[in-house]
Structure 1
């Protein structure tokens, strides 16, 4: 005996709005990418090239995010009963791995320039970095209104945020070179950009991994769920509870609930299922829950193994 609830319509509508924002960010990022590549070539700045390379990563990430968001709207079917929502999580994971690669490249190249400095035109570097910063701020303003509970959107937001910080570092490095002639400031700024990228990439990999491994959602207190379900009138036991995340903002739950025979006879299965569904929706925001409701007389037939909660 079971029941399930879904909020797929609202979820899909929100993702459609976010796709429009991603298109705007892609247009901004693509334009500034070209400008910064030209700037890196004209000034000889590794920090600008690093920012341009990260911009290219951003543009790729946004393209992946757009594709994944579109794929995630495809309807469910017999071969994919939950639909393709996990495409968004895979996209976030790809973004994070690419970021790690960019981080390694920047670090290696910057160390080489610390050993053998290359002449950099600080004045031009500042000008191009300012353009990059303004573009990143515009992209952040667009993404700030998006649903950042989505790992997909969060990945894009973090990349643009890191880019904005990278542009600030490039401005500072350019000013130092312009005023003092200390060319190693360019390599130092590049290393700082790499350091900014690393922890965000690892955090995104961790969060995407939790979803793909179907770990219990980090924001869900399983003990509290058991307690609330046990407090529903007529419930005598709650076991075999499993909780996981389908995609960002879509937690799922399945659980066996044992109720008294009297409760089933007096209130009926439908009323009990409604109460259980309302319980997890109201207290934990879970609207995709499946309950197996069993009469108390069936409890002795249950195999309550060590892996059951």
Structure 2
């Protein structure tokens, strides 16, 4: 039994190393695209190339978040941090999202200025740098595609790279059109679209991070499905309070209050609930409370008294029991 546990941990460690390697290589590639495109935007005067470099920067952050999330989520919960360190990923994502909003607003401001007064663009170097970026981007997307099904975290990193790829394709096409037509305004229009795209992505990152931090009910948890299962247990009359918290993408904690028959087998219901939540729904942290009909009204009366009691306390200062 002991060796089985060791093998499981060993294979988990091996899988983690594989994911970190792929993510690391992909992250370094994204970083190199960022520098290439940023340098190219300075040399060619292309704002679209600069906007795409900004977009790639978001991707570098996504890699850092995914990388640290794999590390941090493997850290065991402690007495001080009983739910582990999963929220680090959310905090990093929030910081990333806010930074991106800033980058997008800056690009929007710049492209508006450029549309009013058009600037000369060295289209050949714009094309060369964006093509180099495109090739590296393809390699990065190919790498992450292989591991994107392993976790939600890696899937989001892969989607980041994929959206970068589309941005770079747009810049390449733009450079070709400018080369053929000589209309440099295309560059500003392109950067405008890329900035709007960055803004849209970053606002959704900020929104999701804030919802997790403010403990809003997660939309990606099948609550109704869970309730159906719970009500099917022998002796369960109703599923009262159900509090689901999302700690980070794909990791939840669950607090349940079930109303049960007076003669119900409470141990059996508790065990079934834990098994259901952990093995079927993948919830790591489960807390179950079983109460009877008589006890329910007693509990409800406490809640109101507790509030008044609390208000009384705050008026009279701290009271030692």
In the superposition, the TM-score normalised over structure 2's length comes to: 0.80
Aligned pair in 2 of structure 1 residues 116, 91: CA closer, same or farther (>3 Å)?
A: same
Q: Give the equivalent residue in structure 2 for 1:298.
A: 295
SS in 1 for 2:256: strand
Whether the aligned pair in 2 keeps the contact of 1:46 and 1:190 (CA below 8 Å) is yes
Q: Give the equivalent residue in structure 2 for 1:146.
A: 148
Cα separation, 1, equivalents of 2:93 and 2:154: 8
C-alpha deviations, 1:85-110, integer Å up to 9, x for none?
Answer: 11111112222112211111111111
Aligned pair in 2 of structure 1 residues 203, 11: CA closer, same or farther (>3 Å)?
A: farther
Q: Give the equivalent residue in structure 1 for 2:267.
A: 270
Aligned pair in 2 of structure 1 residues 86, 55: CA closer, same or farther (>3 Å)?
A: same
Cα separation, 2, equivalents of 1:199 and 1:12: 36
Q: Give the equivalent residue in structure 1 for 2:134.
A: 133
Higher RCO by CA contacts (8 Å cutoff, separation 6 or greater): 1
Q: Give the equivalent residue in structure 1 for 2:179.
A: 178
C-alpha deviations, 1:169-225, integer Å up to 9, x for none?
Answer: 211211111111111111111111112212212222222222112122202343443
Give the length in aligned residue pairs.
293
What residue ranges of structure 2 are gaps of 5+ in the alignment? 1-8, 305-321
Question: Which sits farther off after the overlay, 200-209 or 286-295?
Answer: 286-295
Question: Which sits farther off after the overlay, 117-126 or 29-38?
Answer: 29-38
Whether the aligned pair in 2 keeps the contact of 1:261 and 1:297 (CA below 8 Å) is no
Question: Do residues 162 (structure 1) and 163 (structure 2) align?
Answer: yes
Cα separation, 2, equivalents of 1:287 and 1:156: 23
C-alpha deviations, 1:126-156, integer Å up to 9, x for none?
Answer: 2211211222222222333235864x54554
| Cα root mean square deviation, aligned | 2.8
Question: Which sits farther off after the overlay, 127-136 or 158-167?
Answer: 158-167
SS in 1 for 2:264: helix
Cα separation, 2, equivalents of 1:197 and 1:91: 17
Cα separation, 2, equivalents of 1:73 and 1:50: 35
SS in 2 for 1:252: strand
In the superposition, the TM-score normalised over structure 1's length comes to: 0.83
C-alpha deviations, 1:252-285, integer Å up to 9, x for none?
Answer: 2111123223223xxxx43222222233446544
Aligned pair in 2 of structure 1 residues 143, 206: CA closer, same or farther (>3 Å)?
A: farther
Q: Give the equivalent residue in structure 2 for 1:101.
A: 102
Question: Which sits farther off after the overlay, 76-85 or 62-71?
Answer: 62-71
C-alpha deviations, 1:8-27, integer Å up to 9, x for none?
Answer: x7998866543332211121
